A and B are shown apart, each in its own frame.
Chain A
């Protein structure tokens, strides 16, 4: 259930981490976001609020 990140666009600003309602996103060692916890409601806030539009949210396999 990945968060697809365009690493050329991502500035590691952390806005997605701050905005996620379920608080499941963290930045990895490269400074790029990933879903640390398997509790995504696929609301789309991370994608919508990313200032660089660097994120694509995928739907969990069990649901899609």
Chain B
């Protein structure tokens, strides 16, 4: 399939749908294509909806300045001012846009939005009642006249080191090779959910949507864009084994977290690090306790948890025989992930969603706008679209080197040919890669340990020739393992470079146990060396703004 378009959006989740809709809104004559690995009605991290919009600055109640103070605390100073500030400034109009599309935001008796404090300063989290959020977004995309290519994985960007001109990939069912030349490419394909191994041992039992294997990080890196925040290896205390979230919904309604000694844990604005500390220091298991809550409150909690985002929880608790009215909910540590929404990992972007590669924009979890959550995905989807439409104006498609396209098609053909009799299943291979990430690439970190992963890395890449591939679905898993390996390589290099400890446990180095603001209030930026092909590490100053 050969496509040509003004704007190519890679990934049809929260950010990608918003980008496509807004691009058409800005100029209906601009052609927009979304290439999506799943099926757009139910894909990405919000397939079954979401229960909150985490960052909304309500005029007269909070302010962007107050949000920026919270963001500086959360990032411990590793924060460029402008992108996060723009997100805060535009968050309220985004809320109004979503409301106009029929997304419900509950209000209290005084007709005020129900908000919760999960940041150091200010109530920025607004409750959202929207199990059908993704269906609504997908419908808007279709109404806007966007061309949607489902079930297609992107394996390489069309880029020449300075400029992006589209992307290539294949249909994961039919294997059809897809080339899409574009004036502008917007990456919106999520973070790396399949990083370390979940404690359950089930590869796909991850907190975040496991379709996101770090595709966008790897694609951007290989194309020459800059990335950052890869040393922020992050996990959460969620429902043990199931790894589904429930903290905000329960804790903001009066539930408590207790440890094995029956002590209530001080949560300090739902600080997950305090809970993880109890586990690491041997005071686990830890539990959510809500048997003291009134029946009405428990029913409200059940209604939200059992209908939105991860409704499987209902069956899980029924099977375990746990009733929230009596039983305790055991929390466990999830696997570690890399994410620009929950964490600080992503492609370097400015306040216009521009990456360091011309013609390439990034939005949502794939971009580094720290702790942007769903708000950031939507706002930066909008920003990327506005900028993309301006960029497209009066430009012709760039010349694309045909040999690059031929080489990629040939590479995929070769894997199908050479690997059909391989001896290792994709599942076993991914298991060992992620087990090795668990062994060496996550906290507590030290120089020796991190370098053990670098010893394994070339072995894994070499051994991939022994993976057995019998269909295009498995070929997509093969490609995803390459993405995971690239992400791990980037993360290990960033972790080695930051010779201090920061963000509590998430970048704790036993050989540099102290935080060192004098030397390390800076970004670790990664890019691919043009000549060597190896990871280049740059120390980049923080871009301050406002009154900071």
Contact residues of A with B, CB < 8 Å? 18-23, 36-45, 48-49, 57, 59-60, 62-64
Whether A21 contacts B205 by the Cβ 8 Å rule is: no
Does B503 reach chain A (CB closer than 8 Å)?
no
Whether B42 contacts A63 by the Cβ 8 Å rule is: no
Closest 10 A/B residue pairs (Cβ) = A62-B202, A21-B38, A45-B42, A42-B312, A63-B205, A39-B204, A62-B200, A19-B42, A63-B200, A21-B43
Whether A43 contacts B242 by the Cβ 8 Å rule is: no
Contacts of A42 in B (CB 8 A): 312
Q: How far is the CB of B291 from chain A (nearest CB, A)?
A: 23
Chain B: residues with Cβ within 8 Å of the partner, total of: 33
With A43-B48, A44-B312, A62-B200 as contacts: A18 and B39 at CB distance below 8 Å: yes
Interface positions of B from 266 to 323, Cβ below 8 Å from A = 310-312, 315-316, 319
Q: How far is the CB of B139 from chain A (nearest CB, A)?
A: 14
What 1/0 mask marks residues of chain B from 17 to 44 whose CB sits below 8 Å from any chain A CB?
A: 0000000000000000000001101111
Q: How far is the CB of A24 from chain B (nearest CB, A)?
A: 8
Does B122 reach chain A (CB closer than 8 Å)?
no
Q: How far is the CB of B226 from chain A (nearest CB, A)?
A: 30
Does B209 reach chain A (CB closer than 8 Å)?
yes
Q: How far is the CB of B427 from chain A (nearest CB, A)?
A: 7
Contacts of A41 in B (CB 8 A): 204-206, 209-211
Whether B210 contacts A39 by the Cβ 8 Å rule is: yes
Residue of A nearest to B205 (CB): A63
Q: How far is the CB of A14 from chain B (nearest CB, A)?
A: 12
With A39-B210, A44-B312 as contacts: A63 and B39 at CB distance below 8 Å: no
With A22-B210, A23-B151, A39-B210 as contacts: A59 and B47 at CB distance below 8 Å: no
Known A-B contacts: A19-B42, A20-B38, A43-B209. Give 6 more (CB < 8 A).
A21-B39, A21-B43, A23-B39, A39-B210, A44-B310, A59-B316
Whether B209 contacts A23 by the Cβ 8 Å rule is: no
Complex-state Cα separation, A39 to B206, whole angstroms: 11
Complex-state Cα separation, A38 to B431, whole angstroms: 13
Q: How far is the CB of B286 from chain A (nearest CB, A)?
A: 19
Contact residues of B with A, CB < 8 Å? 38-39, 41-44, 47-48, 151, 172-173, 200-206, 209-211, 241-243, 310-312, 315-316, 319, 427, 473, 477
Contacts of A43 in B (CB 8 A): 42, 47-48, 209, 310, 312
Contact of A59 among B38, B172, B319, B473 (CB under 8 A): B319
Whether A21 contacts B473 by the Cβ 8 Å rule is: no
Complex-state Cα separation, A38 to B426, whole angstroms: 11
Whether B310 contacts A63 by the Cβ 8 Å rule is: no
Complex-state Cα separation, A63 to B207, whole angstroms: 12
Whether A40 contacts B38 by the Cβ 8 Å rule is: no
Q: How far is the CB of B170 from chain A (nearest CB, A)?
A: 13
With a 10 A CB-CB cut-off, give which of B42, B44, B203 has the most chain A CB atoms.
B42
Contacts of A19 in B (CB 8 A): 39, 41-42
Q: How far is the CB of B435 from chain A (nearest CB, A)?
A: 14
Residue of A nearest to B13 (CB): A21
Contacts of B206 in A (CB 8 A): 41
Complex-state Cα separation, A22 to B151, whole angstroms: 9
Complex-state Cα separation, A29 to B201, whole angstroms: 32
Q: Could you list 26 A-B pairs, sorted by A, with CB under 8 Å?
A: A20-B39, A21-B47, A21-B211, A22-B38, A23-B39, A23-B151, A23-B172, A23-B473, A38-B204, A38-B427, A39-B203, A39-B204, A39-B477, A43-B209, A44-B311, A45-B42, A45-B47, A48-B311, A57-B315, A59-B312, A59-B315, A63-B200, A63-B241, A63-B243, A64-B241, A64-B316
Contacts of B38 in A (CB 8 A): 20-23
With A21-B39, A62-B205 as contacts: A44 and B200 at CB distance below 8 Å: no
Contacts of B44 in A (CB 8 A): 21
Contacts of B203 in A (CB 8 A): 39
Contacts of A44 in B (CB 8 A): 48, 310-312
Complex-state Cα separation, A40 to B211, whole angstroms: 10
Contacts of B205 in A (CB 8 A): 41, 60, 62-63
Contacts of A21 in B (CB 8 A): 38-39, 42-44, 47, 209, 211
Contacts of B242 in A (CB 8 A): 59, 63
Contact of A22 among B48, B204, B311, B427 (CB under 8 A): B204
Q: How far is the CB of B192 from chain A (nearest CB, A)?
A: 15
Complex-state Cα separation, A40 to B241, whole angstroms: 14
Residue of B nearest to A58 (CB): B315
With a 10 A CB-CB cut-off, give which of A23, A40, A59 has the most chain B CB atoms.
A23
Q: How far is the CB of A35 from chain B (nearest CB, A)?
A: 11
